[in-house]
């Protein structure tokens, strides 16, 4: 069994109908989303990065997956405030 056929066999989901009724506005994030208002030129990005937050040794809080998107947001906020 292929994945697509087995899914349609056990549910009421109609893949062909779903594809036919899509008009391109269903996807908000990703390639079809609006450009970010806080687009920082690549040559300037390092200037706006947050300071500190080393993760090594005894004080390693093991939260890099949480800090990553927060650092991106902080970088964009820093840029917006300064610009």
Domain range list for the chain: 3-82
Collapse the DSSP code of 37 into the 3-class scheme (helix H, G, I; strand E, B; otherwise coil) and give the result.
Answer: coil
Across the chain, mean pLDDT equals 77
| The pLDDT of residue 15 is above 90 | no
Higher pLDDT, 18 or 79: 79
Work out the average pLDDT over 38-63.
79
**N-to-C CA span, the chain:** 56
User: What radius of gyration do the chain's Cα atoms show?
Assistant: 21
CA distance 21 to 63: 41
| The pLDDT of residue 82 is above 80 | yes
pLDDT tens-digit map of 30-43: 565 677 888 899 89
φ and ψ at residue 52, rounded to 5 degrees = 80, -150
**Total-model pTM:** 0.52
């Amino acid at each position: 069994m292929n994945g697509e056929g087995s899914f349609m066999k056990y549910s009421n989901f109609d893949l062909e109908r779903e594809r036919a009724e899509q008009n391109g506005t269903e996807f908000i994030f990703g390639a079809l989303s609006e450009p970010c208002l806080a687009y920082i030129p690549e040559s300037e990005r390092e200037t706006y990065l947050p300071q500190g937050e080393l993760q090594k040794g005894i004080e390693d809080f093991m939260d890099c997956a949480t800090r990553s998107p927060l650092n991106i947001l902080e970088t964009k906020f820093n840029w917006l405030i300064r610009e």
